[in-house]
Every structure is written in C-alpha cells, then in structure tokens.
Structure 1
Amino acid sequence: MEAERKAAQLSGDTTALLPVLPFHEKITYRAGNKTICCLEGGRIGIQYETSFAGEPCDLYHCVLESKSFLEKMTVLEHTVPFFLLIREAENDFLSSNAMKFIDHMGDLLQAYVDRREQVRLIKELYGNQIGELYHSLPYHMVEFFLDDFDCKVTLSLKYAEDLRSVLPTGVSVLAWPMHAVTMNTKEETQPIPTRLSYAEDALRSMSLPEAYAEIVLNLPQVLKETYPQENFA
C-alpha cells in the first residue's frame, strides 16, 4: 500500500492517494489544491495537496466538526505541523467563515512546503559552496553563508510573519573581506562588511535557487569592483 501511494504521488495521480484518508468515498468537490468532503455527524474533511515546481509534495488533512447548528465548528483532528498555528487560525476564522479558514490553511501549507523545498534544493545543488545553514521550523527565517570565496558572504532572509509568503520580505546580504579595509577599535581590529544590494534585489524577486545562481554568477566581479586591492578568484 505504501509503495503504491508513493508511486501515485510521483506520477501526480492524486486520486489514488485518497483511500489513505477516512473520508475518501464521500468527496463533494475540489477547489484548487483542496478536496472537501461531507462526513457523518456534521463533520467536514479537507485534504490539502501541496506541490513544488509542478511536482506533488506532501499531503495534509483536517477534519472540522460542529455538534449542532448553534455551535461553531472546531478542528477535530489534523496533520498540520504545529508551528503553522492552526489553533490561532481556528480562533480567527472558523467561528465566522469556515471557507476562509480552509483557504487560509491551504495557503499556509503550500507556502511552507515551497519555502522548505527552496532551501532543500539549494543545499542539494550548491551544498559544496554553502557553509552552515540555519532556519526556523516554518522556514520563515533562513540564514547561511558562502565559503567558496576569499570573502565570507552572509545571507539572511525573513519572510512575512503570517507565514504565507514564498519570497522574503526582509533580506540582508553582507560581504566580509578577510584582508580588506579594517576599522580600528580600542579592543580589536575588525573587517568592515559591504552590503551587496544586487544580491538582495535578486532574493526579493526570485525563488531562492534562482537568486542563488544569479548571486554566485556575479559575485567574483562584484567583489573585484568593491575591493580592487584584493585578489579574488
């Protein structure tokens, strides 16, 4: 069964994945990446399908329940990662607009998977150039540095606090030359970092793998122009 499920996921046949869930025989309709079902006892089941670069990724589900028409709906069970704050969304949306809650969670899940897969892809493609990489659980804060040059470059990305963005809203890219201009303090001598605005612009407007390729392609020339006294390869 698990082998069939993985094969169906790779082939993009999401209908073959539905029997994994308890409400697969009562599908009412599909809306975007969501399959919404009416279940027994006044419950509603939602299956969320996520993707990256056109390929299917993770499946998540959520079951909503209302014991009577006079009571608001609540989340009975779900497979949403805890750091996506489903209970906060339940309090904000579910009592007044169930569809808004359903759409909101779909946006959260897709954005989370997109950010996660962007990070996974740069590690897979450029792992030999990337030093230590840090990220928060929902991947809304990412930081790493490049160590394949004679200059340490740190990249820090912050995404919107609502966790629904796939492009960073806050970006900082700094180059730290190893032997370049320094400033003297009473305690020690420290290198002066330079802000790489072209790299920040790329990260704000492109996916992380695309922006990374653009940054690395132009980095040697930018470093030569910024620090003409240095010998950058």
Structure 2
Amino acid sequence: MYGWRPHELDVPNITSNFYLIVLLVIYMSVSLLLLKDLKVACSLTVTNLLKRHGDLSERLSQDSDKTIFERLQKEFQAARATQTQEISLDGDQWNDGLLATIRERVHMEADRRAMLGEANLLAGSHSQEKITYKVGTKVICCLEGARIGIQYETSFAGEPCDLYHCVLESKSFLEKMTVLEHTIPFFLPIREAENDLLSSNAMRFIDHIGELLQAYVDRREQVRLIKELYGNQIRELYHSLPYHMIEFLLDDSEWWVFFFLLSLHLLEQYHAVNSLFLLGSFSSKFFNFFLQQDNWTTPAPARLSYAEDALRTMSLPEAYAEIVLNLPQALQQIIQPRPSS
C-alpha cells in the first residue's frame, strides 16, 4: 500500500516474509493516523490495487488459456466416451504400483500405434482396452501420445465448482514424467511441485495438486460468500490471487476495523496467523480525540481476541458473522470514557 504490497511476495517463501508483513501492517496503521485526507488517500490506494489485481486476473481469461481448457476438456470427454471400463479406487488401491501400470499402458499403446500406423488402426485393428480411473475427485485417463491426463473436480459446500486438467508425459517408461500442459491457475506453484515431487513421487505430486486446487477453491468461495452476504458492510476488500492473504475494512460508522488474514501455507485455511488491528474513525473529530482533545481515549491499534478465536475455529463466512454480531460489545469494552479533569 506504500510502495510494497503483500501480493508481491514469493508464495513458496511466504513464511520467511511473515515478520515483514507484520511490520507492514503496523506501519500502515500508524501512517493512516497521520494522514489528514485519509479517505481520499485510501480510495486512491484501493483503486490502484484493484487495477493491478485486475490486470493479473485477466491472464486467467486470456483466449489461449480458454483454448487449452476447451481442447483438453474435449479430449478428456472423448477418452471417457471410448473407455471400456471405469474403475473407482479407494484407499490403498491408489498407489505407486497402479501408477506404474498406467504409465506402462500408455507407452505400450503409443508403441503399438507407431508400429501399425494410424491407417491400420482406423481400418479395424483391435485397440488396447481403455480404462479410466476414478480416485476421489480425480479422474485419470490414458491419452494418446504416451500421455496421462488428470482431471481435477473441485467443490464447495457440496456443490461442484471448477474443473482443472494436468497432462503428464515421458519419453519412455523408464524416464521421469514432466508436466506437458495444464489448466491450473498460474499463481499456484505447480512448477515448484513438479520439481520437488514429480520425479521422486509422481503419485504424491498428483494428489498434492488436487489438494492445492481444492484449498484454493475453498478460500475463493468463502470470500465470494462474505462479499455476497455482507458486501454492504465491507468498505474495501483486497485479496491476493491465491486468496491466502486477505485484508478488508469493516465500516461501523464511528469506527473502522482493519482485518488482515494470512495463511502461511496454501493448503491451510486462515488458521495459521490472524491479526486484526482496530483503527479509529477517520473523521477530523477522531484526530482531535487521538490528540487527547476529546474526552475519549483508547489504545490504537488494538486487537480483537474474540475475532481471532473465531477465525481460527470457523470458516470465513461463519467467523465474519460472529465478528459482526459481537463487535459493538467488544468496542464498548475497548473504548472507555476518560475521567473528567
């Protein structure tokens, strides 16, 4: 907000930057108290913030991204339409041995096609049995060209949400697999996961990407829900692209409460760190009061411990409802009248 934004942090190194974030929030709180025309400054800051966020988000809807999604979606649909069997796997049935079998199957099919030629295959040669595997919310298909396709299904509150795809390939059965293409949002660390996991534990890589996507969708939908339910109470709201950092201002007419939520890991909800700072009203009367020219006094910034507890134990919409319900009483306990001299 003052030349440096939390969303510019390197996501994999977020833990090492935590103290910088805390210092930033404190600096923001003090600086806000010194601005005379705070509402204008805040409005300009949010406008610039939203513009930058919009520019980044636009990459998600570029024609090339849509083309990849549509092409892969059609390919997955065709693979499932021509399957001879779909096998649902539970627990230990999904393991490294099965993944090795799938890899062997796609390479054998690719080699057979290369030997016979497409013309002979189309003329009536019997193709290899086509099996699709269902593992929880993942669908694993054997695609042409020695490729393995994984389709990830996400949901929120029991309702289906987005579909994502990841296609793996390897030059031979003995060589490591690589990510050929995918429709996973660019801000999720798929390349880091590929470097760390795919060559050593491909099954763990596949599961990890599914966990990342579901956690992202959970956070995104929680933010969408509080905007839908309580948008008229929220003055400004900012979130990082993976929704692992959120900050917003709750306008209580006399007071504004600044919320900063941080998830130190992209697989976690907002339970790792939850810091809230209470800021006074941004009116001229407030500045007089803060200079002790009024007859009220309060620590600023102050923390709302009950709100932090709610954020640790509830989903974001539930915690928000709890915070708003108990905010007037909490403010009364914090703001005490100063004895008359």
Work out whether the TM-score is over 0.5: yes
Q: What per-residue deviation string (whole Å, max 9, x for no partner) do you get for residues 173-196 of structure 1?
A: 122233497368xxxxx9722110
**Separation in 2, partners of 1:137, 1:19:** 28
Gaps of at least 5 residues in structure 1 are 1-17, 185-189
> C-alpha displacement at 1:150, in angstroms?
1.5
**Separation in 2, partners of 1:195, 1:149:** 19
The yes-or-no answer on 1:205 pairing with 2:313 is: yes
Residue in structure 1 matched with residue 14 of structure 2 by the alignment? none
**Separation in 2, partners of 1:42, 1:153:** 55
Q: Aligned partner of 1:81: which letter?
A: P
Counterpart among 64, 83, 93 of residue 168 in structure 2: 64
> C-alpha displacement at 1:71, in angstroms?
1.4
Gaps of at least 5 residues in structure 2 are 1-72, 84-130, 293-297
Residue in structure 2 matched with residue 9 of structure 1 by the alignment? none
**Separation in 2, partners of 1:28, 1:172:** 46
In terms of fraction of residues, the more strand-rich structure is 1
Residue in structure 2 matched with residue 50 of structure 1 by the alignment? 154
**Separation in 2, partners of 1:223, 1:76:** 54
Q: What per-residue deviation string (whole Å, max 9, x for no partner) do you get for residues 155-213 of structure 1?
A: 1011123x1112331111122233497368xxxxx972211010011111111000000
Q: Aligned partner of 2:273: which letter?
A: G
State whether residues 177 and 191 of structure 1, in contact with CA within 8 Å, keep that contact through their aligned partners in structure 2: no
Q: What per-residue deviation string (whole Å, max 9, x for no partner) do you get for residues 54-105 of structure 1?
A: 1100000111001102210011111001110211111111101111000000
> C-alpha displacement at 1:149, in angstroms?
3.8
Residue in structure 2 matched with residue 6 of structure 1 by the alignment? none
Q: Aligned partner of 1:159: which letter?
A: S
State whether residues 182 and 191 of structure 1, in contact with CA within 8 Å, keep that contact through their aligned partners in structure 2: no
In terms of fraction of residues, the more helix-rich structure is 2
Instruction: Choose 35-44 or 46-55, whichever is displaced more.
Output: 35-44
Residue in structure 1 matched with residue 231 of structure 2 by the alignment? 127
The yes-or-no answer on 1:169 pairing with 2:169 is: no
State whether residues 173 and 200 of structure 1, in contact with CA within 8 Å, keep that contact through their aligned partners in structure 2: yes
Residue in structure 1 matched with residue 302 of structure 2 by the alignment? 194
Q: What per-residue deviation string (whole Å, max 9, x for no partner) do you get for residues 101-156 of structure 1?
A: 00000000000000001001000100000011111111111000101342110110
Quick one: structure 1 residues 221 and 40, their matched pair in 2 at CA, closer, same or farther if it must change by over 3 Å?
same
**Separation in 1, partners of 2:168, 2:271:** 32
TM-score (norm 1): 0.82
Residue in structure 2 matched with residue 23 of structure 1 by the alignment? 79
> C-alpha displacement at 1:227, in angstroms?
1.1
Give the ranges of 4+ consecutive aligned residues of structure 1 lying more than 4 Å apart after TM superposition: none
**Separation in 1, partners of 2:301, 2:191:** 42
Q: Aligned partner of 1:167: which letter?
A: Y
Residue in structure 2 matched with residue 159 of structure 1 by the alignment? 263
> C-alpha displacement at 1:19, in angstroms?
5.4
Q: Aligned partner of 1:176: which letter?
A: L
- Report the structure number with the largest CA radius of gyration: 2
Q: Aligned partner of 1:182: which letter?
A: F
Corresponding residue SS for 1:124: helix
Alignment size in residue pairs: 207
Residue in structure 2 matched with residue 182 of structure 1 by the alignment? 290
Quick one: structure 1 residues 78 and 205, their matched pair in 2 at CA, closer, same or farther if it must change by over 3 Å?
same
State whether residues 108 and 164 of structure 1, in contact with CA within 8 Å, keep that contact through their aligned partners in structure 2: yes
The yes-or-no answer on 1:143 pairing with 2:221 is: no
TM-score (norm 2): 0.57
Corresponding residue SS for 2:149: strand
Q: CA RMSD in A?
A: 2.2
The yes-or-no answer on 1:103 pairing with 2:207 is: yes
